[in-house]
Amino acid sequence: MPDMTKNTPDRARTRFPGISSRAYEHPADRSALVALRSLTGFDTVLRRLSGMFSERALRLMFLGGSVRVGEDQFRNIHDMVRDAAYILDFDEVPELYVVQDPTPNAMAIGTDKPFIVLNTGLIELLDDEELRYVVGHEVGHILSGHAVYRTMLLILTSLGARLAWLPLGNLAIGAIVIGLQEWQRKAELSADRAGLLTSQDVHAVKRALMKMAGGPQLTEMNVEAFHRQAREYDAAGDVRDGLLKFLNLMQRSHPYAVVRFAEIDKWAGGAEYRRIMEGHYPRRQDDGSAKVTDEIRNAAKAYRDSWNETADPFVGKLRDIADGAAGLAGDLFARAGRRGGGQDRGED
């Protein structure tokens, strides 16, 4: 087993000229983004909605109450942001602010010019290579447009609170918010992949996720035991546990650390990551020709594959119900076809 407590020596990292965010996006995330990007005038509507969310005021708040990273402040982190933008071939280096907050957290926010915020709790928790992954994760959010659509989620959440007095207003907004929250959890898996492409050190990514779950005492943790924990969480206990997991997730913006750990381990060991590292990936110049229908099919396949691979009994029950419904529908169509065929033969 590799020594997870050691930093990886600095080295030249592979750059991905012209890489499209579609290269690393989770299929469920990618299908939603392609659909949103294809809607004529959607960005205009979103920017009008964002008038409810003052990006200018937010930036001024961080400019006045935190530290803006640059050549002469948090130089090391500035280099990480610059490197991430270079590796992912991003047009400009996003602004990054460091906030005094012991909660380990980071975010990318804004619509016109998204920027990154890092809490001091996260900087103190992670080593340089682990922090490089987090910075790449946030740059991936910006490259995918997640910061823009996350702002929409904040707007709708605020709007839902304002419409709470209406009998159906909050219910309608709530349904949209639930859907966006499910998308956001998949978007986090996409950003984890962007973080791995930036750091190109899967051990650093795993270390960071373990620390986010259990704190800085990495010597007290074990990568194989954490992986077993992820498998145990996936399998749950019975259908009730599966339902509770589902309900717990509805209150979260991120998947649990063990889930992210298992997902990035699987992706890092797969053919998709290997092809990207070899230079075979979707290009940004082809984004306009991406088809919504293809991405929806890819998303449906990803969900189906994850359902087939999971040991969660709750998901198994849902899968059985879905398969039973599909079988029933097939029988009905078959019977209708036979009846229709018989009538046709009678008329002949």
Per-position DSSP letters for 183-248, written without gaps between them: HHHHHHHHHHHHHHHHH--HHHHHHHHHHHHH-S-GGG--HHHHHHHHHHHHH-SSHHHHHHHHHH
CA neighbor of 30 nearest in space, from 298, 334, 252? 298
CA neighbor of 131 nearest in space, from 61, 55, 79? 79
Mutual orientation of helices 169-199 and 146-162 as an angle, nearest 10°?
A: 160
Question: What residues are paired with 135 via a beta bridge?
Answer: none
Catalytic residue among 55, 138, 188, 295: 138
Q: Percentage of residues in the chain with pLDDT exceeding 70?
A: 59
Query: What tens-digit pLDDT sequence spans the chain (348 residues)?
Result: 455 554 444 568 999 999 999 899 887 677 666 655 555 555 555 555 555 556 788 889 999 999 999 999 999 999 999 999 999 999 889 999 999 999 999 999 887 788 999 999 999 999 999 999 999 999 999 998 887 667 666 666 666 555 555 554 555 556 666 666 777 788 899 999 999 999 999 999 999 999 999 999 999 999 999 999 999 888 866 666 667 776 776 667 788 999 999 999 999 999 999 999 999 999 998 887 766 566 556 655 555 655 455 555 544 544 443 343 334 333 433 444 444 444 443 444
226 neighbors 302 (Cβ within 8 angstroms) = no
DSSP string for residues in 7-75: PPPP------TTB-GGGTS-HHHHHHHHHHHHSTTHHHHHHHHGGGS-HHHHHHHHHHHSEE-BTTBSH
Tell me the pLDDT tens digit for each residue of 36-55.
555 555 555 555 555 555 67
Whether residue 278 lies in the annotated active site: no
Query: How far is the C-alpha of 264 from the C-alpha of 321, rounded, in Å?
Result: 30
| pLDDT given for residue 287 in this prediction | 80
Query: How far is the C-alpha of 278 from the C-alpha of 301, rounded, in Å?
Result: 25
Tell me the pLDDT tens digit for each residue of 245-264.
767 766 677 889 999 999 99
Where b means 16+ CB within 10 Å and e means fewer, 27-38 reads bbbbbbbbebee
